[in-house]
Structure 1
Amino acid sequence: MDNIDLSIIVPVFNVEGYLKRALDSILLQLSSITYEILLIDDGSSDKSGAICDEYQSHFPNVFVSHIENNGVAEARNLGISLSRGNYLYFMDPDDFLSDDFFEQICPNLNGKWNVLCFGYNEIKENNNTILSCRSHSYQHLGLLKKEEFRNDFIDLFKTDMMYNVWSRIYNKEFILKNNIKFPSRPIGEDTLFNFQVYQHLDNILFIDSTLYNYIAGRSGSALTEFNPRRIEIQLDELQALQKLLDQFQIEDDTLIQEIKTKIVVSAAFQISNLSLRVQEKIELLQSLVDNQAFESIFLGNRNQIIGSYKMLLRRKDISSYLRRLCIDLLASKKFRTVIFVEKLKMNPILRKIVFK
């Protein structure tokens, strides 16, 4: 297949219950776009590899590579090296495309941008039955040149839509020219990939379309389970973000403080869901408070911290879990716990959630 418009790269690992839906959402698209699907089976131990082979046997534009388990970063980098399209799209195997995905992006495949960004739906489901759906879309629309993008970077980043790779399409020539690759790490590779992209960006296009369906909170997802290593990685990402802000000559500590607060809130929520004794939860939560990297958010100015997290304050699931945990903590009557709770009260975000 020559002159391919789009290479869709899908890293696959133990997603037998989701993979067919993802692939069908691509193959049932109606458009004149020429495309290939590169399925990189990253050592799956379930039927995912067999499903990949089945689709390859039925569709001439589906190509499968079976590799040893090296993580999503290596799988995507292999996909880049194997790709033949002018544009690159990275899709997760447990999500699915909106019906008009190709129809909406087709008029924009004109080579005039480094990155094309679009909106997405955040879906919660149970046994493939949708329970809730929240749409995320950009307020900044149209083509932004380098300086415009840098001037708007803080506002764009506060939307929480600038981390992922599945709500944007990348110009392959731009990626190869700047030698941009996914860093090999267990989690957070999307963020650092995009930081490289933003560092070299000449222009970026935002369109008013919601084209991707992201399944949030899937059991077993790296983003839904507490992992102390993840906090270390997120703090590394913050250092990389600070370097990017320095390069853009942006002096604004607000964004860093807000992200730190979000890390603490997310980690506390995940800890509250762990099947552990209360004392073990206390120790994990205490490690958050004692981490010097978070000292500023417990002592910080309220206006600096609140930022873009008003949405978190309206999430009843987080509130109920953390309030329940707080009762457990207070019931334990440990002196260290009292100190912890007092520190918790000092943070406006956590105070509103837990003591509301």
Structure 2
Amino acid sequence: MSKVLSVIIPTYNMEALLPRCLDSLLADEALESLEVIVVNDGSKDGSLGIARSYASRFPSTVTVIDKPNGNYGSTINAALPVAKGSYVKILDADDFNDTKALLQFLSALSGIDADLAVTHFTQLGSGGAKEVFKYNTMGKEPYEYGKVYEADDVLKDGYIRFFLMHAIAYRTDLLRNIGYHQSEGISYTDTELAFLPIFHIASLVFLDINLYQYNLDREGQTMNPVVLARSASQLEKVTDRLLEYYESHIAAVSEVRRAFMKQYIENRLRVMFKLHLLDMPRNSFNAEVFGAMFDKYMEACRRDGLSFKLYPDNKLLRINYITYWQKHRRRWPAALERCNSLLDKVVKWAYVKIYRR
């Protein structure tokens, strides 16, 4: 039986969590149609031994690639050329899949023909907190599950602003045909996987399956605010790659795709500015470093016709960060930042209670 799905698991020093990840995949009913590729990225702990033990137990399903450390993107680049599945999905070693949902996903993939499959995912926080993310807008789910849409018919409607790695699986041949290659030597390159191929997809399908279980409750997790602040330079390098790809491919796509990708890159620049101007601890903020990045990206905005504003997430304080920086070349006063942080928490709590399940 041919493999329906290849799951690539980038692994670096994950001996404590890799077994949970692998166990979530290797149900008896999944083995024939599933391929699991564990890429050991130069781990210094027992991750490689664990991966090889699973490969010996499940030789027709689990493959291990052992390579020197090259960071996240290098693991994808190592696995993609050898993947046998019709579709490919990334699963970080500290995360896991819902096993029942995986079986549903495999069944669904075997009966569809689309470049991109989009599922739900659960974000797991501290103290057992769970939040399910679906591609909806303010509680509305506008797409028929299981129906294959032409990509532009979805991208034109404004409901979807971006895709996240946890929710997507691509047709393997699509990634190979576009020569997909992820940046190496830095973290946060999963954003490239969620952005670059969208220029090329012709079709997509939404599936009512809550597959990926995204673990944020781990010390050192890359999305931890402290780690993010330390990694601002890596995020900037990823943003540079997205912008470079945008500029080299935008002229060749439809007007609908152009508008979607323009919105995406504007949002990415907004995220970068927000990281420095509000999210980053004040004692980590470097005005000179941010000023250079700000000027570089504002020049790109002028060059590419990009335009956006940056207001607080709570949408109650109507002070544009960008205008404030341009006028004062400094961040907001500390008292205003504390007030804004409190409002953000209150508004997010209310939103989750009303719209998320």
TM-score of the two chains, using structure 1 as the length reference: 0.73
Q: Are the structure 2 counterparts of residues 88 and 256 from structure 1 closer, same or farther at C-alpha, using a change threshold of 3 Å?
A: closer
Match of 1:145 in 2: 150
Q: Are the structure 2 counterparts of residues 81 and 270 from structure 1 closer, same or farther at C-alpha, using a change threshold of 3 Å?
A: same
Q: Does 1:155 align with 2:159?
A: yes
The DSSP-based 3-state class of the residue aligned with 1:157 is coil
Give the drift of 1:40: 1.1
Q: Does 1:179 align with 2:167?
A: no
Give the drift of 1:228: 3.2
Q: Are the structure 2 counterparts of residues 254 and 101 from structure 1 closer, same or farther at C-alpha, using a change threshold of 3 Å?
A: closer
Q: CA RMSD in A?
A: 3.6
The DSSP-based 3-state class of the residue aligned with 2:87 is strand
Question: Which residues of 2 match residues 81-160 of structure 1 at below 5 A?
Answer: 81-105=81-105, 106-125=107-126, 130-139=127-136, 140-141=142-143, 142-152=147-157, 154-158=158-162
Work out whether residues 192 and 238 of structure 2, in 8 Å CA contact, stay in contact via their aligned partners in 1.
no
Q: Are the structure 2 counterparts of residues 254 and 65 from structure 1 closer, same or farther at C-alpha, using a change threshold of 3 Å?
A: closer
Q: Does 1:57 align with 2:56?
A: yes
Question: Which residues of 2 match residues 248-327 of structure 1 at below 5 A?
Answer: 248-249=254-255, 250-251=258-259, 256-267=265-276, 271-272=280-281, 280-281=283-284, 283-284=285-286, 287-288=289-290, 291-293=294-296, 304-306=309-311, 309-310=313-314
Give the drift of 1:233: 2.1
Match of 2:332 in 1: 344
Give the drift of 1:67: 1.1
Quote the Cα distance in structure 2 between the aligned partners of 1:31 and 1:20.
Answer: 17
Letter in 2 for 1:100: K
Match of 2:232 in 1: 228
- Describe the superposition over 1:67-92 as per-residue Cα deviations: whole angstroms up to 9, x where unpaired: 11122222112212222222212111
The DSSP-based 3-state class of the residue aligned with 2:280 is helix
- Describe the superposition over 1:221-249 as per-residue Cα deviations: whole angstroms up to 9, x where unpaired: 33331223134225315524754665343
What stretches of structure 1 of length at least 5 have no aligned partner? 273-277, 297-302, 314-335
Work out whether residues 29 and 101 of structure 1, in 8 Å CA contact, stay in contact via their aligned partners in 2.
no
Question: Which residues of 2 match residues 158-169 of structure 1 at below 5 A?
Answer: 158=162, 162-164=163-165, 166-169=166-169
Q: Are the structure 2 counterparts of residues 90 and 70 from structure 1 closer, same or farther at C-alpha, using a change threshold of 3 Å?
A: same
Q: Are the structure 2 counterparts of residues 124 and 266 from structure 1 closer, same or farther at C-alpha, using a change threshold of 3 Å?
A: farther
Quote the Cα distance in structure 2 between the aligned partners of 1:53 and 1:7.
Answer: 17
Quote the Cα distance in structure 2 between the aligned partners of 1:157 and 1:231.
Answer: 19
Give the drift of 1:66: 1.3
Q: Are the structure 2 counterparts of residues 269 and 41 from structure 1 closer, same or farther at C-alpha, using a change threshold of 3 Å?
A: farther
- Describe the superposition over 1:291-335 as per-residue Cα deviations: whole angstroms up to 9, x where unpaired: 325779xxxxxx94349x44999xxxxxxxxxxxxxxxxxxxxxx
Work out whether residues 87 and 170 of structure 1, in 8 Å CA contact, stay in contact via their aligned partners in 2.
yes
Quote the Cα distance in structure 2 between the aligned partners of 1:311 and 1:98.
Answer: 35
Work out whether residues 8 and 37 of structure 2, in 8 Å CA contact, stay in contact via their aligned partners in 1.
yes
Quote the Cα distance in structure 2 between the aligned partners of 1:97 and 1:107.
Answer: 16
The DSSP-based 3-state class of the residue aligned with 2:45 is coil
The DSSP-based 3-state class of the residue aligned with 1:344 is coil
The DSSP-based 3-state class of the residue aligned with 2:236 is helix
What stretches of structure 2 of length at least 5 have no aligned partner? 137-141, 300-307, 318-324, 344-357
Q: Are the structure 2 counterparts of residues 88 and 261 from structure 1 closer, same or farther at C-alpha, using a change threshold of 3 Å?
A: closer
Question: Which residues of 2 match residues 191-202 of structure 1 at below 5 A?
Answer: 191-202=191-202
TM-score of the two chains, using structure 2 as the length reference: 0.72
Give the drift of 1:251: 4.9
Work out whether residues 37 and 79 of structure 2, in 8 Å CA contact, stay in contact via their aligned partners in 1.
yes
Quote the Cα distance in structure 2 between the aligned partners of 1:25 and 1:39.
Answer: 14
Quote the Cα distance in structure 1 between the aligned partners of 2:309 and 2:338.
Answer: 15
Give the drift of 1:48: 0.9
Give the drift of 1:149: 3.4
Q: How many residues align?
A: 306
- Describe the superposition over 1:124-151 as per-residue Cα deviations: whole angstroms up to 9, x where unpaired: 13xxxx5311110123433220321341
Match of 2:27 in 1: 28
